[in-house]
């Protein structure tokens, strides 16, 4: 599946994903949201909004809205991404 068709992923994030080598769903799944978030943050040289990036990536893999992630899952994602 192309990233443009994924839930939560608009044109801006799809463009940024392409810039860090994430071109499709299988690459996103293989790398995982925390690693992809780290790559995006590294490319932008600053911390990115969690809900718009880390949680959106996780929601896209589930084909669901990022707001449906519970607090425990969001905490696990933050920890895995090296955030507190």
Burial class (CB in 10 A: 0-12, 13-18, 19+), 55: buried
What's this model's pTM, rounded to 2 decimal places? 0.87
pLDDT tens digits for 48-82? 887 779 999 999 998 888 889 999 999 999 999 98
Structure confidence at residue 1 (pLDDT): 67
pLDDT tens digits for 6-18? 888 989 899 999 9
What does CATH list as the number for 3-80? 1.10.150.20
In this predicted structure, the answer to whether residue 47 has a pLDDT above a threshold of 90 is: no
Q: 6 — alpha (psi -120 to 50), left (phi > 0) or beta?
A: beta
CA distance to 62, 67, 77, per residue, from 82 (Å): 22, 21, 9
Domain ranges of the chain: 3-80
What backbone torsions phi and psi does residue 2 show, to the nearest 5 degrees? -75, 150
């Amino acid at each position: 599946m192309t990233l443009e068709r994924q839930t939560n992923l608009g044109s801006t994030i799809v463009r940024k994903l392409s810039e860090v080598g994430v071109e499709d769903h299988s690459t996103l799944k293989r790398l995982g949201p925390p690693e992809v978030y780290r790559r995006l943050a590294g490319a932008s040289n600053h911390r990115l909004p969690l809900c718009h990036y880390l949680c959106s990536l996780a929601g896209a893999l589930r084909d669901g809205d990022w707001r449906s992630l519970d607090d425990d899952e969001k905490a696990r994602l933050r920890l895995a991404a090296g955030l507190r």
